[in-house]
Amino acid sequence: MWSDSLLIVFISICTAFLGEGLTWILVYRTEKYQKLKVEVERQSKKLEKRKEAHGDSLDKQHKKKIEREEERLKNNNRDLSLVKMKSMFAIGFAFTALLSMFNSIFDGRVVAKLPFYPISWIQGLSHRNLSGDDYTDCSFIFLYILCTMSIRQNIQKLLGFAPSRAASKQGGALFAPPPAQFK
Amino acid sequence: MSSKNKSLDGANKIKVSESVWKKTLTANAEWPDKEEFLDVIYWMRQAIGIILGLCWGLLPLKGIVGLLLFVVVNAAVIYFYVNNFQSIDEEEYGGMWEITKEGFMTSFAGFLVTWIIMYTGLHGNDSL
């Protein structure tokens, strides 16, 4: 059982590197992506600073400027996600195939013993395709998801591919309804 | 020329990472770059997650107690580090909640993986 769980950790490390490598080849190293990324980051930081400085002021000119910059940032962000999207689809397909292959290899096998009873809506995942009523038995998919959650993000951050905080903060705000003062 | 620049870049990077380590371990250090401080918090969280996972697996701690104790210890260490050791003004970072959130899910996942694996290897045949 232990060798199975260690093997799953190893598999998820490999797939995380493979995924990042493929994304690097298809996206990160392209000039278009790099240009857009720098641009989005620069604009996000600028916008944040401007908002901090004039957040409460009612000056119409400032508001208009901020609005215009937000619009520009929005467009750049959209372009950035478009550049990413195509390759993400390709990688997504490849990984679904890989996952189903591993799923069939580990089908019905208890790969680990959980030190806790999972709550009911997680049991479907942690006890997937396992026989018996012992819910502390762990299936492949649950351990794989946990490994991927921790390993993939750390690798992204380590290699510097994770989006910067300023960009994701501004990006997140773009999908929210605009605040009343900017309407 | 470009190789010279590259080697200079590398040297600079090493210097920067050295100073980050130094700042991390110095009480009340200056953090002009917010991102840098949040990165330190992030990686500290990951290390805490893995260390606690190893400890909980070795002990072994089980059930909801293990999960809750992780959340409490993790938050407490970061809170203590930010407030007492570095004396950071949390409002600058958007409140304590923003700092508490930083890298929590990833650290939780890392903790679960190490806890489950240690527990499986050492106590896999025990019943809960």
Taking the CA of residue A8 and the nearest CA in chain B, the distance in Å comes to 10
pLDDT-derived band at A8 (thresholds 50, 70, 90) equals: very high
pLDDT greater at residue A179 or residue A137: A137
| Dihedral sign for Cα atoms in the order A83, A87, A88, A90 | positive
DSSP B1-69: -HHHHHHHHHHHHHHHHHHHHHHHHSTT-----HHHHHHHHHHHHHHHHHHHHHHHHHTT--HHHHHHH
**A149 and B57: CB-CB below 8 Å?**
no
Taking the CA of residue A70 and the nearest CA in chain B, the distance in Å comes to 21
Residue numbers in B near A159 (CB within 8 A):
none
Q: Return the domain boundaries, chain B.
A: 46-120
Of residues B109, B3, B113, B19, the one with CA closest to residue A153: B109
Q: Flag whether residue A2 sits within 8 Å of chain B, measured between CB atoms.
A: yes
pLDDT attached to residue A133? 84
From first to last of its 128 residues, what are the pLDDT tens digits of chain B? 445 555 555 566 666 677 888 888 877 778 887 788 888 899 999 999 999 999 999 988 888 999 999 999 999 999 899 888 888 887 778 778 888 888 899 999 999 999 999 999 988 776 65
Percent of all residues in chain B with a pLDDT value above 90, rounded to a whole number: 38
Taking the CA of residue B125 and the nearest CA in chain A, the distance in Å comes to 8
pLDDT attached to residue A58? 64
Least CB-CB distance to A113: which of B49, B107, B119?
A: B119
Percent of all residues in chain A with a pLDDT value above 90, rounded to a whole number: 17
ipTM: 0.80
Q: Flag whether residue A9 sits within 8 Å of chain B, measured between CB atoms.
A: yes
| Spatial separation of the C-alpha atoms in residues B102 and B49, rounded to whole Å | 13
| Spatial separation of the C-alpha atoms in residues A105 and A108, rounded to whole Å | 9
Question: Strand, helix or coil at A138?
Answer: strand
pLDDT-derived band at A87 (thresholds 50, 70, 90) equals: confident
Phi-psi region of A117 (alpha: psi -120 to 50; beta: other; left: phi over 0): beta
How many CB atoms are located within 10 Å of the residue B97 CB? 10
Best of B105, B120, B128 to mutate (most A CBs within 10 Å, chain A): B120
The pLDDT tens digits for A23-71 are 888 888 888 888 988 888 888 888 888 777 766 666 777 788 888 888 8
| Spatial separation of the C-alpha atoms in residues B124 and A1, rounded to whole Å | 8
pLDDT-derived band at A135 (thresholds 50, 70, 90) equals: confident
